Amino acid sequence: MFVSMFRFLIFFSFLSLVSSQNCSFDLQSFTLRNFTLLGDSYLRNGVVGLTRDLQVPSSSSGSLIYNNPISFFDPETKKTASFSTRFAFSVTNINPSSFGDGLAFFLSPDNQTLGSPGGFLGLVNSSQLTKNKFVAVEFDTKQDLHFNDPDDNHVGLDIDSLISIKTANLRLAGVDLKSRNLIRCWIDYKSEEKKLMVFLSYSSFKPKKPILIVDIDLSDYIKEFMYVGFAASTEGSTELHSIENWSFRTYGFGPVRPPHNVSDNTVIVKPPIIQDSGGHKHHNKSFGLGFGIGGPAFFCAVLVAFGWISVKKWRGLNTEKNLKAELVTGPRQFSYKELRSATRGFHSSRIIGNGAFGTVYKAFFMESSSIAAVKRSKHSHESKTEFGAELSIIACLRHKNLVQLQGWCIEKGELLLVYDYMPNGSLDKVLYQEFEHGNPLKWPYRYNIAVGLASVLTYLHQECEQQVIHRDIKASNIMLDASYNARLGDFGLARLMDHDKSPVSTLTAGTMGYLAPEYLQYGKATEKTDVFSYGVVILEVACGRRPIEGEGTGHEMVNLVDWVWRLYSEGRIIDAADKRLNEDFKEEEMKKLLLVGLSCANPDSTERPCMRRVFQILNNEAEPIFVPKVKPTLTFSTSIPFNIDDIFSDSEGSEAPEHELEIRID
Annotated binding-site members for ATP: 375
Q: What is the DSSP string of 64-92?
A: EEESS-EE-EETTTTEEPEEEEEEEEEEE
For 314, the 3-state DSSP assignment is helix
Say what angle helices 527-543 and 611-618 make with each other, to 10 degrees.
30
What is the rounded CA–CA span in Å between residue 540 and residue 290? 75
What is the rounded CA–CA span in Å between residue 35 and residue 64? 7
Distance from CA of residue 526 to its chain's centroid? 30
Q: What is the DSSP string of 339-402?
A: HHHHTTTT-GGGEEEEETTEEEEEEEETTTTEEEEEEEE-SSHHHHHHHHHHHHHHTT---TTB
Give bridge partners of residue 80 from the DSSP assignment.
73
Please pick, among 74, 149, 472, 530, the residue that the annotation labels catalytic. Answer: 472
What residue spans of 544-647 are helical by DSSP H?
560-569, 587-600, 611-618, 644-647
* 101 preceded by a cis bond (ω within 30 of 0): yes
**DSSP for residue 320:** H
What is the rounded CA–CA span in Å between residue 226 and residue 517? 47
338-to-346, 347, 407 alpha-carbon distances in Å: 11, 14, 12
What is the rounded CA–CA span in Å between residue 653 and residue 79? 64
- Binding-site residues sit at 375
Residue 386 burial (CB < 10 Å; 0-12/13-18/19+)? buried
Say what angle helices 587-600 and 527-543 make with each other, to 10 degrees.
150
Count of CB atoms within 10 A of residue 513's CB? 17
What is the rounded CA–CA span in Å between residue 143 and residue 15? 51
Task: Please indicate whether residue 140 is annotated as part of the active site.
Answer: no
The residues annotated as belonging to the active site are 472
